[in-house]
Amino acid sequence: MEYIRKFRFIIVGSLLVSGIIAFLALNYIQTYTASAIIRYSNSGAKEGLAPDGTEIDVSEIYSAEVLNQVFENLDLDYSKHNIDDLRSRVTVEPVRTQGEAALEEAKTSLGEEMEEMPVEYVVSFTAATRDSGDKETFARTFLDEMLDVYVQSYGKSHINRGSAVNDISKLKEQDYDYLEMAEILKNSISTTLTGLVEKAQEESDFRSAQTGYSFDDLKREFELLYEIETSNIFSYILENRVTKDRESLIAKYENRINDYLLSNTVSQEQIQSINEVISSYVGMMRESGNTDITFEYILDDVHDSYYTDENEETQRVDQTVEYDELLDSYISARSSYESALIDIAYCRYIIEIYNGMPSEQMQITEQSIADGSGVQILPGAVPEPVNAGAVDETAQSMIDSLAEKLNGLYEVLDETNREYNEYAGAQNINLVSGIAVAPAFSLPLYAGLIMAVFGVVGCMGAVVIGRLGDIFEYCIYYDRAMEIPNRAACDRYISANASKFLSDEFVCISIRVPDIQKKNQESGRNETDQMLKALAKILRDTFSGEEECFLGLNGVGQYIIFAGRMGTERAEYYLEHIGQKVREYNREHRCRIEYTAGVAEAKKLEIYQLKPLMLKAISSSFSPNSEQNLHRTEEKRDAGEHIKAEEVTQDNTDTEKVSESGRAEVERHLEKLKRMLDNVS
């Protein structure tokens, strides 16, 4: 625990850092999976058939067509998101009970086919960090949009009962130019007519009880608006070049042209690729010279004849279907290319009109708008503009009138469609459950576990480092004989605190054992060493409870004590205690402890630097007339120690020598200490 307390701040800091790093790393690799259950509810769903009789293919849920529409709806950037990568993270699994799963496994093992196909499926999508910063929201939004697009695509491909959508209800709320609003109205009518023509042919006998309209009646109403109203609006706008912002309008059509050109670049690449395959087929046919050769023979050299399925079994390729699909792709790419060319011509034509390039005698028809050939002004259909304000007002009035009529027709069409859907009982795909999002793992739990591991490792590391530090301290800065810090430790302490300003109660105590060489001669080296060890133990025990205290061996027989909050009074008390312990030792041992002591307090001497204060304490320990050493002499007499006369005489003689002729030696010793301290710093 001592080592843990010593390194507690490092441990806590490392825990916080590791927790943050772990949280960020785990959050980066964290994934969120959004799931929902859908059910195919048409009558043939249990046989695996869609309403149009084709097999239900769940891979259509994440088909390229669906995901391309999702990209467009969510405004996803193709440079940041890869369709194939997103498709790989979509899974569709059938929902089966344990009994159904066991039955399927048994029939599969016997080579039999299931009579009833699953009608419920779990659709899941997993979002990763590369998709979005908010992965949970992205997973939910992407799956929701994908299912919405798929339901629309499924209805268009298999149900064919799609209802018209009123996309002009909020036309005025958007910042469209007049021509853009006219195009939206025209496109809306055109799209609606496409569906109504098919419905009018297939359901000619159906008439709504609520509205009284049949699909054929509604088709004629929309055709009337398309042929007359939209033509008049286009004629008026283009003849008068009506616009809210000409530069902005031209820029929009230029952007359209750029988009079409980009689209055509992709289409051209597709067409070129398909042409190469077709050319290879034609070349092989010509080289064969045999008109009776089957498609297998020719296409074997154009495509691989076999492939490996998901069960790693070799299957034969149906080249006929493959070639048909190739031609379908060609037709689709070519149609897209040609359609873009028509749109480009139309956009350029509009730009020319608003740049004032065409002649004043313009004509516009449905065909001329498509190919950009000219404009036809219907006689009497367009009022003459008086001024720019009146022209704008007239154009807006014509657009509002058409939009109002269309909104009314859309309401009738919506009601008719709802009644028709009830009549037909068309059921598409039901969403059995809402979208649920779940993380791959619990981020707080794993981050907590990592922090706990780092905490344990940190505590173990603190113990190991602390122990190694103690071993290093013991080997380098510890006197193993005296069991106290050695001279190197004293030098390190002095260097570390040399520039610090000392407190008033800072005390430096110097204790010196004189005449060690003489004691070695009289008592022997072993007994003298034991005496020095005994004194070191007394000092160690005395100052062990003192806070901010350093005890070290500054030389042979020289002990130094630094105490930050001791003061002179407590220092004197400690010296009294040391004297008592020394007297007890001397009663039992022949080699007696004899020492001198010097005390220096920062406030009393007005010395607040460590080196000068230590020199003052050492100087005091060398002086026999100092207060502490005179006190030590009184202790000897008061204790009644039996000192031999010759020893007293010798002590007095030594004292006189120190008093009269030893000052030079003391000064030399102090100079030596000063040089030593300077070297240390």
Q: Where are the domains positioned within the chain?
A: 31-158, 168-244+390-426, 245-388, 482-620
What average pLDDT does range 560-567 have in this prediction?
90
Least confident of 44-58, 376-390, 600-614: 376-390
pLDDT over 70 (residue 476):
yes
State residue 506's pLDDT score.
93
Longest dimension (CA), the chain: 152
How far is CA 182 from its chain centroid?
46
Q: At what angle do helices 567-588 and 525-543 cross, to 10 degrees?
A: 140
State residue 33's pLDDT score.
93
Over the stretch 648-674, which tens digit does the pLDDT of each residue have?
Answer: 334 433 434 434 444 555 455 556 655
Question: Tokens representing 277?
Answer: 């395959």
Question: Tokens representing 286?
Answer: 């010509």
Question: Tokens representing 586?
Answer: 């001397």
Strand partners, 438: 33
Residue type, 627: E
* Interatomic CA distance for residues 419 and 203, integer angstroms: 13
Question: Which position has the token pair 């021509």?
Answer: 179
Confidence of residue 36 (pLDDT cuts 50, 70, 90): very high
CB 414 within 8 A of CB 167: no
Element (H, E) at 124: strand 120-127
Over the stretch 196-236, which tens digit does the pLDDT of each residue have?
Answer: 888 888 778 878 888 888 888 988 999 999 899 999 999 99
Name the residue with higher pLDDT: 586 or 356: 586
pLDDT over 50 (residue 647):
no
pLDDT over 60 (residue 377):
no
- Residue 316: exposure state from Cβ atoms within 10 A (0-12, 13-18, ≥19): exposed
CB 223 within 8 A of CB 193: yes
What average pLDDT does range 557-578 have in this prediction?
90
Confidence of residue 577 (pLDDT cuts 50, 70, 90): very high
* Interatomic CA distance for residues 176 and 170, integer angstroms: 11
Least confident of 172-186, 406-420, 455-469, 625-639: 625-639
**What does the chain come to in residues?**
681
CB 6 within 8 A of CB 468: no
Residue type, 461: G
Over the stretch 38-69, which tens digit does the pLDDT of each residue have?
Answer: 888 888 888 888 887 888 888 999 999 899 98
Element (H, E) at 393: helix 388-424
Least confident of 250-259, 321-330, 598-607, 632-641: 632-641
* Interatomic CA distance for residues 152 and 578, integer angstroms: 98
Domain 482-620 belongs to what topology? Alpha-Beta Plaits (3.30.70)
pLDDT over 60 (residue 563):
yes
311 CB-near residues (< 8 Å, 6+ apart): none
Q: Which of 329, 319, 270, 267 is nearest to 297 (CA)?
A: 319
Name the residue with higher pLDDT: 37 or 317: 37
* Interatomic CA distance for residues 142 and 87, integer angstroms: 11
Q: Which of 382, 446, 342, 88 is nearest to 228 (CA)?
A: 382
pLDDT over 60 (residue 376):
no
pLDDT over 60 (residue 71):
yes
CB 139 within 8 A of CB 125: yes
State residue 639's pLDDT score.
42
CB 56 within 8 A of CB 49: yes
Q: Measured on CA atoms in the order 122, 128, 130, 131, is the torsion positive or negative? A: positive
Q: Which of 102, 43, 126 is nearest to 439 (CA)?
A: 126
State residue 41's pLDDT score.
85
507 CB-near residues (< 8 Å, 6+ apart): 561, 562, 563, 566, 567, 568, 570, 571, 599, 600, 601, 602
Question: Tokens representing 499?
Answer: 């520039």
pLDDT over 80 (residue 104):
no
State residue 161's pLDDT score.
55
Strand partners, 214: 207
Neighbour tally for 237: CB within 10 Å: 26
Name the residue with higher pLDDT: 605 or 428: 605
Over the stretch 494-552, which tens digit does the pLDDT of each residue have?
Answer: 998 888 899 999 999 999 888 888 888 888 888 888 998 999 999 989 888 888 899 99
Confidence of residue 469 (pLDDT cuts 50, 70, 90): confident
632 CB-near residues (< 8 Å, 6+ apart): 579, 595, 596, 597
State residue 459's pLDDT score.
83
Least confident of 156-170, 226-240, 282-296, 423-437: 282-296
608 CB-near residues (< 8 Å, 6+ apart): 501, 502, 506, 602
- Residue 284: exposure state from Cβ atoms within 10 A (0-12, 13-18, ≥19): middle
* Interatomic CA distance for residues 243 and 246, integer angstroms: 6
Percentage of the chain lying above the pLDDT 90 cut: 12
Residue type, 22: A
State residue 524's pLDDT score.
87
CB 599 within 8 A of CB 512: no
Least confident of 201-205, 263-267, 595-599, 637-641: 637-641
* Interatomic CA distance for residues 502 and 523, integer angstroms: 42
Eight-class DSSP state of 176 = -
State residue 144's pLDDT score.
92
Least confident of 136-140, 391-395, 476-480, 606-610: 476-480
State residue 6's pLDDT score.
73
